[in-house]
Structure formats: structure tokens, C-alpha cells
Chains A and B, each alone.
Chain A
Amino acid sequence: MDFESYDVLVVGGGLAGIRAAIAAVEANPRVRVGMVSKVYPMRSHTVSAEGGAAAALGPGDSFETHAFDTIKGSDYLADQEVVEAFVREAPVEIIQMEHWGCPWSRNPDGTIAVRPFGGMTTWRTCFAADKTGFHMLHAVFQTSLKYPQITRHDEAFVTKLLVEDSRCVGVVALDIRSGRFDAITAKSVILATGGLGRVYAFTTNGNICTGDGMALAYRAGAGLKDMEMVQFHPTGLPFTGILITEAVRGEGGYLLNKDGERFLKRYVPNKMELGPRDIISRAMTTEFEEGRGFEGPHGKYMHLDVRHLGEKVIDRKLPFMRELGREFLGIDIVTDPIPVRPVQHYMMGGVDANISGETPILGLYAAGECANVGLNGGNRLGSNSLPECLVFGAAAGRAAAHYASSARPVTANPVDAMLWDEARRVEAEYLEKKGGDERIGPIREEMQREMDAGAGVFRTKEGLSRLVRNLGGLRERFEKVRIDDSSRTFNTEIIAALELDFMLEVASVIAFTALAREESRGAHARRDFPERDDEHFLKHTLAFHTNTLAPRLEYSDVHITTFKPQARSY
């Protein structure tokens, strides 16, 4: 039997995935690259990134300060040699994006402009108005169309990694349109599947952010690193969770409580609105609890006020925010304050990978939000994730192409058997199962509510223990799930089931790792352990798959080179 075979296979068509694909081809033009994505690449969630991409470009900036800001922002959980390499590569990648047509906003002299951002000590965030992710994704996707070596498999959902003799040799993918299972083999596989925000109810993440790559790698035996580190962005719109970019504060917007007070003076007096996301989200939650938030039909909120910036600045720098206000809230941010509250936004944790994106599984690489290369530690700074996708996407692409050039070809026999097994498993578990009485929707909604309640901005032992128990109950209910849709053609219900399966897996990892980290560091804030504990927890958490819901946990040292951990205050 024939099957599609590549040198490098990229799973995921967002910024990291496409960057990896192009890097692989440019590293070696003879490399054949496949790209599998469950949506058309321009639908990937990179498209929703707004504020910008950080890089020490300007003469007033330095690699050292970008590195220090990132490490301090991470609450010293970042691996410092990774950060140091990252800040050196980021400007190169920003220029590369410029050459590929990204319409970066400019200075009067025609060079790329920068804006201030949270947790950064200087102006270093490049931006394309306030649709930076949209413009970067479309520029890099459209550029990728010129490489004949890249073959796309759009709207195909990867259900399993093919691992043979502890080497990753491809994937099993369900072609959504035809309902057919394909083995897509490759000498190396790069996971670039993005985040998992949809395990939470209130999230900025799109419907596709379901932690697929993390779950795939976890089940294949790779470790998931620092999964307790979940970022809550301070400014999401109530009800929809639509992101209001940090650039609103970067450009000078105020956060006000119901007394009209810039309350951040009590929490980050030196940074105010430009404090890091973890601390501001905690400050807002604390203000809510102490009764100083506004009360609305969709819960408590604060005001984000840009009225003093004036229409001209808003239209030049924040046009999309004005559009979102007008379209989704019926307000004009030129004349009205924006209601906002903290919202799940980003996953610092991910597939354990090194600086080249290599995971412990031979031939398997990871990049972007689904990976943890040690850049973000306990808290990612705003505008570091877009350059992360570029820098580590490119690194993984090059490494994977290099490995593929010397790796032995994939053999057909075991792949064939693995494909049949996987196809049979999915059919048996979902399509042919009789007598199930649970629906996907209610289980997913309950998981999301439980995650909001138990693994939110503040955590406690009681809350996390309850979460662990309840996720166990949901997993049991999921075993009895029933699928209404028996068609093979574009069966989105079976995709939803496979995604929920993945989400329950990664949600459990978040709950167990959060329970085990008995300190407060970065985005992980324990009410019962409010202090950082460098003696016991200046370590990465590594979670490995077991036969139960509970992962096996290991801890590994954080790489500290230049900056010794110190108290983190702003």
C-alpha cells in the first residue's frame, strides 16, 4: 500500500507551523514538506493576535534588557540560554517578515516602529496597527504558496502520532471532508498546533485551540512541561472573551475601578498599566473581591479608558479595537470606556522541547504555543509569543530538515498496521458505539466551568483537588458519549469528540501539576502558598502519561546563566 511520505511533516498551519515549513525548505531545497492543518491555514489562531511582536531592533534597545525583562517576567522559570538565543534571533525574524510583506507600522523615516508593552522596560514591540497576528499570518501563509516543495493537507485532523521503535515516523490523520483515515509518514514531524484555551469557558482562544498537539505528544510518551502555568490576560470583553489588546494600555489607556481610580498604583506602582499580565490579572481579581469592580449582566468588570488618547491616535494605532467595540458592544471607544475582565489567554506550558525544538522522542519536534522550549517560564510577556513562533518555528524547521536528510526512510509494514488500528479505534469508540447516552456539549461545558473555577487566576488545594475529582467524573461520562452524526462527510461532531478527548487529557495535566506546585510563581498563584519558593520549586514540572488520569511527575532544573533569581516587583 502506498501512502503520502515526506521528509518533514508539520502539524498545524499557524505562524510557527508555516515558518517551520519555509525554514525546512530554505535549509534544504530538496526537502519535501507536508503541512497538515485541521483548518485552512489562514484560519489559525495566530490571526487573533493583536498587539505586536517584540524584538530589540532599535538603537536604544539591547539584547540584555530584552532578555532580562523576559526572565523577570517569567518569574525566573525561563531557561536563560534559550531566552538569550531568542532575543538575538527575534530582530532577524522581524526583518524576514518585513521582506515577506508584513505591513509593519513605520516611523517617519520609514523604519519599523515600536510601541511600549507590559513588562518591557523599553519600547520594543513592533506592530501592524492592532492586527499584528492577522497581518503576520496572512503574509507568511501567502508567502508559503510560492514554495512548490510544500504540500498542504487542509482540514485534516491528526488523531495519533505514529511512533515506531521510539521514533516518530508520521501521523494518522482524518480527512474531514471525506471521512477517510490517512497515514501521512515523514522522517521528522513538527508539532505546531497552538494552545488549549478551550479547556476554559472564558477564553480569548478560538474554537480550534484544543491542545491537540500537546495531547498527541503526551500520549506518545513525551513530557509536558510547566502545564500549571496558564496565562490570564487582564482585558477581555465580558461574555464573549474577545481580546482587547495590551497595546491599548501600551498606547496610554487607563484601567479604572468603579471609583474611577487607577487601582494599579497599589499593585505595580512603578509600571501601572504596563505591568505584566499575571500581576495585573491578580490585581483586578483582588479588586473585584474587595467590591471595587463594576457589576454587569455578565459578571464583574473594570473600565479600560482610552478617551484621553483622542480619535486620531485611536484610528491610527488601535483601529481594530474601535471596530470591535462598535461591532460587538455597540460602543465607540473614542467616547466610551471599554468593559474588561481577566480572561484565559495563553499556555506557557507545552511539549517539552529544547532550543531546536527537539523533543525526547526521536524525529519529533515542537514549536510555538504547543511547545515549551523554556522561553516563557511562569509568565509570558505580551508580544513575546509572535516572535517565539517565528524564532522557534524556524529553528525546528531547520533541525527537522537536517535530521531528515540523514534519517532512514520510513518502512511501510508497521505503519500500515498502525493506521488500521487507529482507524478501528476511532470507529469503535465513537461511530459504532451503541447505547451511549452522554452528549459532547454538556461534558465540554462542564469541564470548562470546572477549569474556570478550579484552575483560574487564584488556586487552592481544595479547589484543585475538587477539579481533579470532577475531571475524573467527566472522563467517565465521556466514555459513554453518544454521537448523533453518522455521516462520513464533514462530520464535525466526531472532530468535537476527538478534541474533547484531548482537552480532558490536558486539563487533567493542568490540574495535577498545579496541585503539585506548592508555591506561587508567575501565573500560578496559590492562595495557600502565596510566596515563591526557590528552594523547592525553582524547577520545571514534567508530566508523563500513565494509564490513569494522574500523570507521573518529574522535576528538572531551570537553566540559570546570567540573572540570579531575585524578588519580582514592578
Chain B
Amino acid sequence: MTTEATAEATTEAPAAPREYSWRMPANWWTRNRHYFLYTVREFTALPLALWLLWLLVEIRRAGDGPARYAPHSSTAFVVFSVVVLAFALYHSYTFLTLAGTILHFKVLDRPVPARLIVLSQFAAWAAASVVVAFVLIWFAHE
């Protein structure tokens, strides 16, 4: 051991000898089920974004007149769309479930239970979907 007196005031312990720094392993997301599901959740945003980009292109083309509007109808694209729909539903589900964690308010001085909040979110989602579907169908009939 060496003997040495501290030279100056510091609010923390004196400098220590070499430490072994943490290095995140590249495969960290495979090491735990939750990490994996989390990574999948984040990854699903990518195809979703691609699909939406495609939709934007379609809309733009539709703006040039009905003749230019030629939606993709290959089997591959339908399959892709269905998969993306599943991803979108999964995202909506995780997002809405989160509301139970995030939102906290009181009615008559009693905290509203998280389950009720989540339930109301899903109800609002369902209601919104019905309204959108109704509007679309109504437009289609015009």
C-alpha cells in the first residue's frame, strides 16, 4: 500500500485505479425475452413507415387524376399490407396499454384505477374506428 495525503477537497472519493469499463455486447437484445420483445416492437415501426410512405406516393399520384391512380394489387403487397396491419394493431395495443401507466388523475379525490383508464382508451379507439369506417363507407356510397 502506498501512503499519500489527499490534496484538495472533492465531493467524491479520490481517483481510483483502472476500472474495467462496461461494453454493451452487440447481441444484447437477444439475452432477455423482454429485450427481444422490445426490439421487435421498435423494429415493427420500420415496415409501418415504409407502407405509409407508399400510401403517400399513391395519394400524390391520385391527385394527378384517376388515370394515374393504380394501386398495387399483387398478392405480395396484400400480404405485406396484412402484416403491416398486424404491426399497427400491436403498436396501438402497446401504446394504449401504456396509458394506464402514464395517466393518473383523481375523481372525487380517489385515483382512477389503471384498468379503467386502459379500458376507456380501448373504448375510445373502437369508437374512433367506427366513426372513421362510417365516414369512409358514406363517402364510397356518394
B1–A3 CB distance below 8 A = no
**Within 8 Å of chain A (Cβ to Cβ): is B32?**
no
A446 within 8 Å of B by Cβ? no
A420: CB under 8 A from chain B? yes
Q: Digit string of B3-16 for contact with A (CB within 8 Å is 1, else 0)?
A: 11111111111111
Most buried by A among B4, B8, B11: B4
Pull 14 A–B residue pairs with CB atoms less than 8 Å apart, ordered by A. A2-B6, A3-B5, A151-B9, A151-B11, A152-B11, A156-B13, A177-B14, A179-B1, A180-B4, A182-B6, A184-B6, A431-B1, A489-B16, A489-B17
**Contact between A488 and B6 (Cβ–Cβ < 8 Å)?**
no
How distant is the Cα of A475 from the Cα of B22 in the complex, in angstroms? 43
* A residues less than 8 Å from B7 (CB atoms): 2
Select the residue from A4, A151, A183, A488 with max chain B CB neighbours within 10 A.
A4
Q: How near does chain B come to A254, taking the closest CB pair, in angstroms?
A: 34
Verify A427–B1 contact, CB threshold 8 A: yes
Q: Is A181 an interface residue (CB 8 A)?
A: yes
**Contacting pair B1 A153 (CB below 8 A):** no
Question: Which of B3, B10, B13 meets A420, CB within 8 Å?
Answer: B3
- For residue A153, which residue of chain B has the nearest CB? B13
B3–A155 touching, CB < 8 Å: no
**Contact between B13 and A180 (Cβ–Cβ < 8 Å)?**
no
Q: For the complex, what is the distance from the CA of A32 to the CA of B8, rounded to whole Å?
A: 13
Q: Which residues of B contact A431 (CB under 8 A)?
A: 1
Q: Is the CB of B5 within 8 A of A2?
A: yes
Is A419 in contact with B5, judged by CB distance below 8 angstroms?
yes
Given contacts A180-B4, A489-B16, 11 further A-B contacts (CB under 8 A): A151-B10, A175-B14, A177-B17, A181-B1, A181-B2, A181-B4, A419-B3, A419-B5, A423-B1, A426-B1, A488-B17
Contacts of A2 in B (CB 8 A): 5-8
A182 touches B5 (CB 8 A): yes
How many Å lie between the Cα of A17 and that of B5 in the bound state? 23
Please name all residues of chain B whose beta carbon is closer than 8 Å to the beta carbon of A175 when the two chains form the complex: 13-14
The answer, yes or no, to whether A546 is at the interface (CB within 8 Å) is no
Rounded to whole angstroms, the CA-CA distance of A153 and B14 in the bound complex is 8
The residues of B that contact A178 with a CB separation of less than 8 Å are 13-17
Footprint of B on A, CB under 8 Å?
A: 1-4, 32, 151-156, 175, 177-184, 416, 419-420, 423, 426-427, 431, 488-489
Q: Which residues of A contact B17 (CB under 8 A)?
A: 177-178, 488-489
Say yes or no: B11 contacts A180, CB within 8 Å. Answer: no
Closest partner residue, chain B, to A32 (CB atom): B9
Q: B14: which A residues are within 8 A, CB to CB? A: 175, 177-178, 180, 182
Query: Roughly how many angstroms separate A377 CA and B6 CA in the complex, as a whole number?
Result: 41
Name the CB-closest residue of B to A487: B17
Q: How far is the CB of A475 from chain B (nearest CB, A)?
A: 24
Determine how close the nearest CB of chain B comes to the CB of A157; give it in whole angstroms.
12
Q: How far is the CA of A182 from the CA of B14 in the complex (A)?
A: 10
Closest to A154 in B: B13
Give Cα A156 to B14, complex, Å.
Answer: 10
Q: Which residues of B contact A183 (CB under 8 A)?
A: 5
Closest A residue to B16 using CB positions: A177
| Nearest-Cβ distance from residue B132 to partner chain A, whole angstroms | 45
Q: Which A residues are in CB contact (< 8 Å) with B5?
A: 1-4, 182-183, 416, 419
Residues of B within 8 A of A180 (CB): 1-4, 14
Distance from B45 Cβ to chain A, minimum over Cβ atoms (Å): 39
Report chain B residues within 8 Å CB of A151: 9-11
**A residues within 8 A CB of B3?**
180-181, 419-420, 423
Chain B residues with CB below 8 A from A488, complex form: 1-2, 17
Give CA–CA (A177, B11) in the complex, Å: 15
Find out whether the CB atom of B16 lies under 8 angstroms from the CB atom of A3.
no
- Does A4 lie within 8 Å of B9, measured CB to CB? yes
Inter-chain contacts of B6 with A (CB < 8 A): 2-4, 182, 184
Chain A residues positioned under 8 Å from B10 (CB to CB): 151
Contacts of A420 in B (CB 8 A): 3
B45-63 to A contact mask, C-beta < 8 Å, 1/0:
0000000000000000000
Q: Decide yes or no: A154 and B12 within 8 Å by CB, A3-B6, A184-B6, A489-B17 being known contacts.
A: yes
Closest to B11 in A: A151
CA distance A184 to B8 in the complex (A): 11
The docked-state distance in angstroms from the alpha carbon of A153 to that of B6 is 11
Which residues of chain A come closer than 8 Å to B2, judged between CB atoms? 179-181, 488
**Which of chain B's residues have a CB closer than 8 A to the CB of A3?**
5-6
Hey, which chain B residues are within 8 Å of A184, CB to CB?
6
Give 9 closest A-B pairs by Cβ, nearest first: A3-B5, A423-B3, A177-B16, A4-B6, A2-B7, A181-B3, A182-B6, A178-B16, A179-B1
CA distance A438 to B64 in the complex (A): 92
Give A179 to B6 CA distance when docked, in angstroms: 13
For the complex, give the distance between the alpha carbons of A501 and B8 in Å: 31
A532 to chain B, nearest CB (A): 49
**Nearest neighbor of B15 in chain A, beta-carbon distance:** A178
Which residues of B are found within 8 Å of A416, using beta-carbon distances?
Answer: 5
Complex Cα distance, B1 from A147, in Å, reads: 33
